[in-house]
Amino acid sequence: MRRSRLVALPVAALLLLGAVPALAGCSFQTVVKDVTGGNVDLGGNKVPSGFPSSVPLYKGAVVFGASVGSGRGTVWNVTVKVKDAAAYQDIAKQLTDAGFSGQFGAQGPDGGGTGTFANDQYGVLVVVTDAGSNGWVANYSVSRAGVESPSPTATP
């Protein structure tokens, strides 16, 4: 259950950042400022500031980097180019060699896959996928361990 919460927070943050502006018709910058209180780093094609050095990244060109939140509530997202669908094997080895436990579970029909990893400090969700004309990429979503994701409440 703890691992699912580690994964839920970065996924929820990314969905929120991508879906809310489209649904509400608001500008992306306004929504991000309102949601995060201004605590956002849209690093562009570099690793965002404060990204944990203990989380190894695949040695490819950074396509996108961002962070949301502050302090223990910070969530980082980095997308890097990888050589091919089998890059998930190298990524899994890097993470386990760095002391993370976990594995890639679901592999797509054309390769790639999705994996979850964790150690005492961080939870990492990695998705390796074909990005069309941009080639293969690995997307890392990283959150601190023990950060609770909000639980939905029922409305009458």
Q: What pLDDT does 17 receive?
A: 44
Whether 132 has a pLDDT exceeding 50, the answer reads yes
pLDDT tier, 2 (very low <50, low <70, confident <90, very high otherwise): very low
Cα–Cα nearest to 44, from 20, 11, 79: 79
Report yes or no on whether pTM surpasses 0.75.
Answer: no
Whether 7 has a pLDDT exceeding 50, the answer reads no
pLDDT tier, 72 (very low <50, low <70, confident <90, very high otherwise): confident
Q: Which residue has the higher pLDDT, 39 or 17?
A: 39
Q: What pLDDT does 25 receive?
A: 41
Burial 119-132, CB ≥16 within 10 A → b, else e? beebbbbbbbbeee
**Distance (Å, whole) CA 111 – CA 109:** 6
Q: If 0-12 CB within 10 Å is exposed, 13-18 middle and 19+ buried, where does residue 100 land?
A: buried
5 close to 72: Cβ distance less than 8 angstroms:
no
Q: What pLDDT does 105 receive?
A: 85
Provide CB contacts within 8 A for 88, sequence distance 6+. 104, 107, 112, 113, 115, 126, 128, 138
Average pLDDT over residues 116-138: 94
Question: Could you tell me how far CA 76 lies from the centroid of its own chain?
Answer: 6
**Distance (Å, whole) CA 106 – CA 27:** 34
Q: What proportions of the chain, in percent to the nearest 5, are helix, strand and coil?
A: 30, 35, 35
120 close to 100: Cβ distance less than 8 angstroms:
no
